[in-house]
Amino acid sequence: MPKNNNGRTVTDQSSMNAYIKSVCDIMRRDRTKGALEYIPELTWMMFLRILDEKEQEEELKCQAVGKSFTPSLKEPYRWRDWGNPHGKKRVELQNGKMGDFLDFVIMFSDRIEISSPGSFIGGVTPHNILTHPPVRRNPLLAEILQYIGAVNRGGLGVDRMYRRLLSYGKLPPEYPELAGAVQVIIRNGAFDEAIAKFVGRKAREGHGWRLEELIVLHHLRRNDKISTSEASEILQRTQRETSELLSSMEGIFIERIGTGRGTYYQLTNEILSSIGEKEKYTRIKGLSEEQKLQLLKNYLENNGKITNEEARNICGVNRNQSLRLIRKLVHKGFLRKIGKGRGAYYEKC
C-alpha cells in the first residue's frame, strides 16, 4: 500500500503480514467470536481501504493520459471520506450540525442534547465521570479502529469537552441521570471574552491549565467564593484531594480566606482586575465590621438562627472573629444562645 493519510503505511508483504497478525491478535481476544466470524469483518475493512487506494492510483493514471475514470464507490462511501481521520464526511459528522439528520442529536435554540441508548458502563456515573478511568463500550472495536488509523487516541472525549467549553468561559457539559440512556447537554452560553483572554495569556506565559483549575475558575467567575466541600463536589474528588488541589492553586489565581472549617477561596485582586471586576474583590474582602454584622442580621431574618460555622462562612472570618461578631449581636439583644458545646447555636430574639 502506498503512503497516504488513512493511517498506518504498509509497504511490503512482511509488513502486511505483521499488520494482519496484529489485528487478528486483537480480534481473537473477543471470546464470543471465532476466526470464521472475525476474518470476514477484517477482510471487508481491508478491502475497502485497499480498493480506495488502488482507485486513487487508477484515477491519477487516467488523468495523466486524459481519460475519464469511474470509481466503484462514490463520495461519501469511500474509505478516504469516512475512514480517514481528516476525511470530508468524517469531519462533517464530527463537527457539523448533526441534529439536522441524526435523531440522537437534538438541536435547541439554547442547547444541544446528545443521547445514546443504554446506560453508563464499567462503574461510570454522572458523579464520577471526571475522575473515572475511560471505559469503552466495545474495547475490541475501539482498539482495532485505533490500530488501523481510523480514529485518533481514545478516552479523551469528556476531558476535551470540559476544557474547550471552560477555556472560553462557557458552561461545562451536563450529564443528567436518565433511565435507559446516556445523555450529554451542551448549553449555548455566551462567550466570556475576559476569561478566554486570561486563560490564553496564562497559557502563553507557560502555565499548563489543569482541568480542575478551569472548573474552579469557572465557579468563581459566577460566585464570590468556594469552600473545600463545594469544590469537592464539583471536582468529584475527596475532601483531602480537593484541599491539596486548592492549595496548589493559591497564588496562581485564588487566595485563601479564613482558617479551619470556615476557610474559603476567592479570586485574587489581580485576576479580578484583569477581567474587569475589581469592585468584586472589595465587595468580598473589604467589608467593615458593621457590614459583617448586617450580613448576619440579614441571614437571621430569613433563617431565625445561626451557628458559629455559618457565621464564619457568611463573613469569611475565622472562629474567634465570628464569635466576637456574634457576641456583639447578643450584647445588643439581637441574639440569644441556645445549648452548649458543639451543639450550641444562636436564635434571633
pLDDT in tens, 238-250: 999 999 999 999 8
**Confidence class for position 271, pLDDT limits 50, 70, 90:** confident
**Confidence class for position 138, pLDDT limits 50, 70, 90:** low
Using DSSP, state whether 195 is helix, strand or coil: helix
For residues 173-189, give the mean pLDDT: 85
Q: What is the rounded average pLDDT for all residues in the chain?
A: 79
Side chain identity, residue 97: K
For residues 197-219, give the mean pLDDT: 92
Please state, in angstroms and rounded to a whole number, the distance separating the CA atoms of residues 136 and 142.
7
| Cβ atoms of 135 and 122 closer than 8 Å | yes
Q: Is 284 part of a structural domain of the chain?
A: no
CATH at 323: 1.10.10.10
Same domain for 170 and 252, yes or no, is: no
* Cα 66 from chain centre: 52
Q: What is the pLDDT of residue 232?
A: 96
| Cell triple for 16 | 502486511
Question: Above 80 in pLDDT, residue 203?
Answer: yes
* pTM, to two decimals: 0.54
Same domain for 102 and 183, yes or no, is: yes
Which of 278, 301, 321 corresponds to the end of one domain?
278
| Cell triple for 272 | 479580578
CATH at 72: 1.20.1260.30
The total number of structural domains that make up the chain: 4
Q: Which range among 58-72, 108-122, 209-223, 318-332 has the greatest average pLDDT?
A: 209-223
Q: Is 210 part of a structural domain of the chain?
A: yes
**Which of 143, 162, 163 shows the shortest CA–CA distance to 153?**
143
Which of 147, 164, 187 corresponds to the end of one domain?
187
Instruction: Mention every residue, 6+ apart, whose C-beta is less than 8 A from residue 87.
Output: 80, 81
Instruction: Mention every residue, 6+ apart, whose C-beta is less than 8 A from residue 152.
Output: 85, 146
| Cell triple for 64 | 495523466
Q: What is the pLDDT of residue 34?
A: 66
| Cell triple for 49 | 481501504
| Cell triple for 267 | 479570586
Q: What is the pLDDT of residue 100?
A: 43
Q: 22-31, 52-61, 278-287, 303-312: lowest mean pLDDT where?
A: 278-287
For residues 29-49, give the mean pLDDT: 71
Distances (CA, A) of 179 to 175, 206, 268, 313: 12, 44, 42, 38
Q: Is 91 part of a structural domain of the chain?
A: no
| Cell triple for 220 | 468563581
Full domain range(s) for residue 303: 289-348
Same domain for 39 and 61, yes or no, is: yes
Same domain for 125 and 175, yes or no, is: yes
Taking the CB of residue 225, how many other CB atoms lie within 10 A of it? 18
| Cβ atoms of 85 and 149 closer than 8 Å | yes
Please state, in angstroms and rounded to a whole number, the distance separating the CA atoms of residues 129 and 158.
8
Q: 32-41, 82-91, 317-326: lowest mean pLDDT where?
A: 32-41
